[in-house]
Amino acid sequence: MSLLHAQSVSKSFGGVQAVSRVDVQVREGELACIIGPNGAGKTTFFNLITGYVTPDEGRVIFDGQDITGLPPHRAARLGLVRSFQKTHVFPQMSVAENVQTMVLVQKKRSLDFLSTALRLERDETEELLAMVGLAGSARSLAGTLSAGDRKRLELGIALAARPKLLLLDEPTCGMSPTETASTIELIQRLGREQRLTLLFTEHKMDVVFSIAERIAVLHFGRLIAEGKPEDIRANDEVRRVYLGDTT
Ligand SMILES: Nc1ncnc2c1ncn2[C@@H]1O[C@H](COP(=O)(O)OP(=O)(O)O)[C@@H](O)[C@H]1O
Ligand SMILES: [Mg+2]
């Protein structure tokens, strides 16, 4: 059974059909990717799954439950977690404090007990920082991190929420080729070592073929292909979409 099944979901904004009857399934333990050029509907699709946007039609089934229209925090509580964007990182707090905050939120500890809780959750925070390769930067201010390390921190915060399915929207966005490579390597390692189910979006084709086990291709809001990397690579329509696309 699939962990996530987006059943023929659609969303239009005014005259723009951002997502059109897209049907995608993610199986447990899988590392899946949605690719498509800019404007293809990837972010809207993520917003539909995570409850930031309600679909015009279709349903979202997660872990056996119909979660269509459920607000994001309720979906997150069920284990459907989206990587936090830059704005969710507190720049004036240290790397460790950022992760610890989410560990605490997850444990639903009240702020009154912060000082005790901070000690209790230190181990878990250290473990999460090590997992994302930030053990050495625990005391650095989050606002001073490079783009690659900030993504590591966002991943650490997302992992603190103990996701069943982790969604990453263009995790290598704005990164140098070196940072991109190390972020992709980290995502692959997390998927393998933590046995996480991961769904990420990407517009650069080369980035996904090395790690994705299954790929869905969006183009103008439509799902034009879906399958293993080798099938996607050989797909004529996908080749046409990406021919001349230098991004
Ligand atoms: N809130 C919105 N209001 C109006 N149009 C939107 C909105 N969000 C996305 N769109 C449009 O929907 C289409 C898909 O956008 P998006 O999902 O961001 O694509 P991608 O993430 O693949 O780049 C684009 O044409 C975009 O301009
Ligand atoms: Mg996007």
Domains of the chain: 1-79+164-247 (3.40.50.300), 85-162 (no CATH)
pLDDT of amino acid 89: 85
How far apart, in whole angstroms, are the C-alpha atoms of residue 215 and residue 194?
21
Residue 217 CB–ligand 1 contact under 6 Å: no
Distance 105 CA to ligand 1 centre (A): 31
- pLDDT of 246: 47
pLDDT value, residue 176: 87
CA distance 106 to 162: 8
pLDDT for the residue 46: 95
- Structure token pair of residue 227: 């399958």
Testing ligand 1's pocket by substitution, the residue of 11, 13, 48 carrying the most ligand atoms inside 8 A of its CB is 13
Q: Distance between alpha carbon 213 and the CA centroid of its chain, in Å?
A: 15
43 lines ligand 1 (CB under 6 A): yes
Decide: 172 and 201 in contact? Cβ < 8 Å.
Answer: no
**Ordered mean pLDDT values, 10 residues apiece, the chain (247 residues):** 95 96 96 94 95 96 96 91 72 91 72 57 89 95 92 91 92 88 91 91 83 95 95 91 62
CA distance 22 to 86: 28
pTM above 0.85, yes or no: yes
- The maximal CA–CA distance of the chain, rounded, in angstroms, is 60
Cβ(113) – ligand 1 distance below 6 Å:
no
Query: Which pLDDT belongs to residue 223?
Result: 97
Q: Which of 33, 42, 43, 44 to mutate to test the pocket of ligand 1 (most atoms within 8 A of CB)?
A: 44
Residue 4 CA to ligand 2 centre (angstroms): 20
> Do residues 175 and 185 lie in contact, with contact meaning Cβ atoms separated by under 8 Å?
no
Q: Is the CB of 137 under 6 A from ligand 1?
A: no
Burial 26-44 (b: 16+ CB within 10 A, else e): beeebbbbbbbbeebbbbb
CA of 121 relative to ligand 1 center, distance in Å: 39
pLDDT of residue 111: 52
